[in-house]
Amino acid sequence: MDYHFPEGFIWGSATAALQIEGATREDGRGDSQWDVFCRTHPERIWQQATPDLACDHYHRWAEDVGLMQRFGHTGYRLSIAWPRIIPDGTGAVNPAGIAFYRRLFAALTAAGIEPNVTLYHWDLPQPLAAAGGWESPATLDAFVRYARVCFEAFGDQVKLWATFNEPSWSTLNGYVTALHPPLKHDYKAAVQVAYNLMLAHARTVKLFHSLGSGGRIGIVQNMCPVYPASDSARDAAAATIADAVYNRWFIDPALLGRFPQEALDLYGRHGLLPEMRRQDLDLFTADTVDFIGVNYYFPHYASADATETVFGLNTSGNKDEDCHFSIKGQFKFVKNPKGRYTDWAWEIYPPGLYDLLARAHQYRPGLPIYVTENGIGAQETLTADGTVADDYRIDFVREHLEVIHRAIGEGMNVHGYYMWALMDNFSWLNGYKKRYGFFFIDRDTMQRHPKKSAFWYRDVARRNGFSNPAG
Ligand code: BGP
């Protein structure tokens, strides 16, 4: 076999609570900021979709665990819904929420599937959001308490924990592009939130280690590589700044215990520095992560030619509609004229994943790395025989696995791969239009249909690798 993976390599897929669970008002669950956003701004989401039903996983979890098992999964990355555990964010713990996840973790373990659990995948309890969200120190205290509740309730079942999913992406879209809740365009708030998320992370890592319940804790980052758009020195400088604010602000404190100087200088020049207390800064240096989770979809190319501030994500699924991200006077992300693109204008570029793995390895040689998300969204329909011929997804996953295999061969400590996603789900602004799953969800019946890629991945997992299709 050409691509054989190390024994014990995790073959998994990923989801997030809000995107699959549904049952948003059942068994005492509180509202999250996304539930309220979907209700108050339905025009921002394709077909005014809501997460109320999602994949109905809250009721079909046993069936879903069975599918993972039958299709060879050995790992599953999921998130816990904070509003299910502590419905108002700060008050009483909800026993029904704890019971739900205990049942789920027990079933996963019995099926030989290791859970990799993220504490926060953007579903901030609404009362906390209304009281200032991540700008407020009270939210940090509430998060650390919620983390403690989870560690104590599930610590015997879960050994792989992540604090936050993509703090960079949620800060950018919540406070810079104004595309996600709380829909702000406020650089000062963005920098404070970016700092506060990392502080909450550091406090949680310290708490986890102090509990000594075993297992590992990390963070999941969207480490988009940022390449200069040209050979010019100006574009190289733009890429350095974009990388510092977009990636390193979140990676450096988690892995090295400090914030990048380029970003501190930039924020200092613009009067945007967050409030940073000495004793908090010491927390970052005192303790760091046990692993890093890497989410990778596409790379960026930074140009210095940023004459205006514009943001826009492709939410149409029409290849001709570009994504826009430009901050006047700083950097602008541009398209790669030679790139291959998905229908949502996301470039397909597997070497970018290799560069990220190499980078994570360079930061902390030997640090365990998990590819916690990687996948391709598409508009799909069922064929007459009840499947989806998603050969493009097979190609996408295979090409990315090839670079992971190469990275492992070169000594990078990659422990597992979680394809986004286990099943088609609520794709934030795209509602249910953009399908990512190994399993197609029929929105009328909620029935799960394995796509061609699910069978392919099952065979890869069983053989712990694959042969080069070319020969
Ligand atoms: C990541 C998120 C996931 C997922 C994925 C695809 O940033 O962590 O939750 O949704 O992106 O994004 P989208 O559904 O917007 O296409």
**81-140 pLDDT, tens per residue?**
999 999 999 999 999 999 999 999 999 999 999 999 999 999 999 999 999 999 999 999
Considering the candidates 114, 135, 166, 347, report the single residue annotated as catalytic: 166
**184-210 pLDDT, tens per residue?**
999 999 999 999 999 999 999 999 999
Compute the distance from residue 224 Cα to the ligand 1 centre, in Å.
13
**388-439 pLDDT, tens per residue?**
999 999 999 999 999 999 999 999 999 999 999 999 999 999 999 999 999 9
Q: Where are the domains of the chain?
A: 2-298+353-463
Q: Which residue has the CA at smallest separation from atom 10 of ligand 1? A: 427
pLDDT at 381: 96
Compute the distance from residue 427 Cα to the ligand 1 centre, in Å.
6
- Residue 469: pLDDT band (50, 70, 90) is confident
* 76 beta partners: 13, 115
> Among 221, 427, 433, which residue has the most ligand 1 atoms within 8 Å of its CB, making it the best to mutate?
427
Compute the distance from residue 380 Cα to the ligand 1 centre, in Å.
17
CB 11 within 8 A of CB 457: yes
**9-44 pLDDT, tens per residue?**
999 999 999 999 999 999 999 999 999 999 999 999
Question: What is the three-class DSSP state of 325?
Answer: strand
Compute the distance from residue 428 Cα to the ligand 1 centre, in Å.
7
Q: Report the atom number in ligand 1 closest to the C-alpha of 429.
A: 15
**317-360 pLDDT, tens per residue?**
998 888 999 999 999 999 999 999 999 999 999 999 999 999 99
Q: Which amino acid is at 404?
A: I
Q: Report the atom number in ligand 1 closest to the C-alpha of 16.
A: 9
pLDDT at 319: 86
Strand pairing report for 226-228 and 347-348? unpaired
Tell me, yes or no, if 7 is annotated catalytic. Answer: no
Work out the angle at residue 426's Cα, subtended by the Cα atoms of residues 97 and 396, and round it to the nearest 5 degrees: 120
Over the Cα atoms of the chain, what is R_g? 21
CB 393 within 8 A of CB 434: no
Q: Which residues line ligand 1 (CB under 6 A)?
A: 16, 19, 165-166, 169, 222, 295, 373, 377, 420, 427-428, 430, 434
CB 13 within 8 A of CB 421: yes
Strands (E), 42-102: 75-79
Q: Tell me the C-alpha to C-alpha distance, in Å, between residue 183 and each of 216, 250, 270, 344, 388.
A: 34, 21, 22, 22, 36
* 439 beta partners: 423, 450
Q: Tell me the C-alpha to C-alpha distance, in Å, between residue 336 and each of 121, 206, 276, 299, 445.
A: 30, 41, 38, 9, 40
**At CB < 8 A and 24+ separation, what contacts does 313-317 make?**
313/177, 313/179, 313/429, 314/344, 314/345, 314/346, 315/46, 315/344, 315/429, 315/430, 317/343, 317/344, 317/377, 317/379, 317/430, 317/433, 317/434
Query: How does DSSP assign 370-409, residue by residue?
Result: EEEE----B-----TTS----HHHHHHHHHHHHHHHHHHH
Residue among 360, 240, 350 at smallest CA distance from 297: 350
- Residue 468: pLDDT band (50, 70, 90) is confident
> Among 428, 432, 433, which residue has the most ligand 1 atoms within 8 Å of its CB, making it the best to mutate?
428
* DSSP H or E stretch at residue 69: helix 57-70
The sign of the CA dihedral 149, 28, 445, 315 is: negative
**444-457 pLDDT, tens per residue?**
999 999 999 999 99
From CA 198, how far away is CA 288, in angstroms rounded? Answer: 11
At the topology level, CATH places domain 2-298+353-463 in TIM Barrel (3.20.20)
Q: Which residue has the CA at smallest separation from atom 12 of ligand 1? A: 427
Compute the distance from residue 64 Cα to the ligand 1 centre, in Å.
20
Compute the distance from residue 384 Cα to the ligand 1 centre, in Å.
29
Q: Report the atom number in ligand 1 closest to the C-alpha of 169.
A: 7
- Residue 78: pLDDT band (50, 70, 90) is very high
Tell me, yes or no, if 373 is annotated catalytic. Answer: yes
From CA 163, how far away is CA 161, in angstroms rounded? Answer: 7
CB 152 within 8 A of CB 215: no
Q: Which residue has the CA at smallest separation from atom 13 of ligand 1? A: 427
- What average pLDDT score do residues 203-219 get? 96
Model pTM? 0.98
- Residue 471: pLDDT band (50, 70, 90) is low
